[in-house]
Amino acid sequence: MAEKILMIALSPTMEAGVITRWNKKAGDKISTGDLLCEVETDKASMDYESQSDGTILKILVSNGARVKVGEPIAIIGDEGEDFSADSKDTTHVSTEKKASSIHNENLPGGVKASPLARETARKLGVDLSSIEGSGPRGRIVKEDVEQNAAAINAKKTTETGTAASIVKTFTTEKLSEKRKVTAQRMSQSMAGIPHYYLSVPVCMDSVIRTRNSLNKKHDKKISLNAFLIKFAAEALRRNPQINASWQGDSIKLFSNIDIGLAVALSDGLITPVVKNCETKGILQIDEELKTLIEKAKSGKLAPEEYNGATFTISNLGAWGIRSFTAIINPPASAILAVGEIFKEPVVNEDDKITIASRMIFTLSSDHRVIDGAMAAEFAADLRGIIEDPAQALL
Q: Say which residue, 353 or 137, is predicted with more confidence.
A: 353
Model confidence over 342-377: pLDDT tens digits? Answer: 999 999 889 999 999 999 999 999 999 999 999 999
Q: 177-393 architecture in CATH?
A: 2-Layer Sandwich (3.30)
Mean pLDDT of 86-108: 42
DSSP string, 333-362: SEEEEE---EEEEEE-TTS-EEEEEEEEEE
Model confidence over 190-211: pLDDT tens digits? Answer: 999 999 999 999 999 999 999 9
The yes-or-no verdict on residue 3 having pLDDT over 80 is yes
Q: What percent of the chain has pLDDT over 90?
A: 54
Model confidence over 107-118: pLDDT tens digits? Answer: 544 567 776 778
The yes-or-no verdict on residue 93 having pLDDT over 60 is no
Mean pLDDT of 180-195: 91
Query: Judging by beta carbons within 10 Å of its beta carbon (0-12, 13-18, 19+), is residue 48 exposed, middle or buried?
Result: buried
**What pLDDT sits at residue 110?**
55
User: Strand 268-270 vs strand 334-338: parallel, antiparallel, or unpaired?
Assistant: unpaired
**What rounded mean pLDDT belongs to the chain?**
86
Binned at pLDDT 50, 70 and 90, residue 253 comes out as very high
Residues annotated as catalytic are 367
**What pLDDT sits at residue 164?**
46
The yes-or-no verdict on residue 335 having pLDDT over 80 is yes
Q: What percent of the chain has pLDDT over 70?
A: 88
Residue 216 amino acid letter: K
Ranking 83-87, 136-140, 211-215, 248-252 by mean pLDDT, the lowest is 83-87
* Crossing angle of helices 224-238 and 205-216, rounded to 10°: 120
Closest CA to 327 of 375, 281, 295, 365: 365
CB 282 within 8 A of CB 226: yes
Q: 3-92 architecture in CATH?
A: Beta Barrel (2.40)
**What pLDDT sits at residue 106?**
52
**What pLDDT sits at residue 224?**
96
**What pLDDT sits at residue 394?**
57
The dihedral built from the CA positions of residue 232, 234, 237 and 238, taken in this order, carries a sign that is negative
Domain 97-160 has CATH 4.10.320.10: yes
What is the pTM for the complete model shown?
0.65
Binned at pLDDT 50, 70 and 90, residue 337 comes out as very high
Model confidence over 34-71: pLDDT tens digits? Answer: 999 988 887 777 889 888 899 999 999 988 888 999 99
**What pLDDT sits at residue 89?**
42
Q: Where are the beta strands (DSSP E) in 248-379?
A: 251-253, 259-261, 263-265, 268-270, 273-274, 311-315, 334-338, 342-347, 353-366
The yes-or-no verdict on residue 252 having pLDDT over 90 is yes
The residues with which 18 forms a beta bridge, in sequence order, are 40, 66
Binned at pLDDT 50, 70 and 90, residue 161 comes out as low
Mean pLDDT of 13-36: 89
**What pLDDT sits at residue 173?**
84
CB 362 within 8 A of CB 197: yes
The yes-or-no verdict on residue 229 having pLDDT over 70 is yes
Sorted by where each begins, the domain ranges of the chain are: 3-92, 97-160, 177-393
Q: What are phi and psi of 315, to 5 degrees?
A: -115, 115
**What pLDDT sits at residue 60?**
92
Mean pLDDT of 167-177: 79
Ranking 56-65, 167-176, 260-269, 322-331 by mean pLDDT, the lowest is 167-176
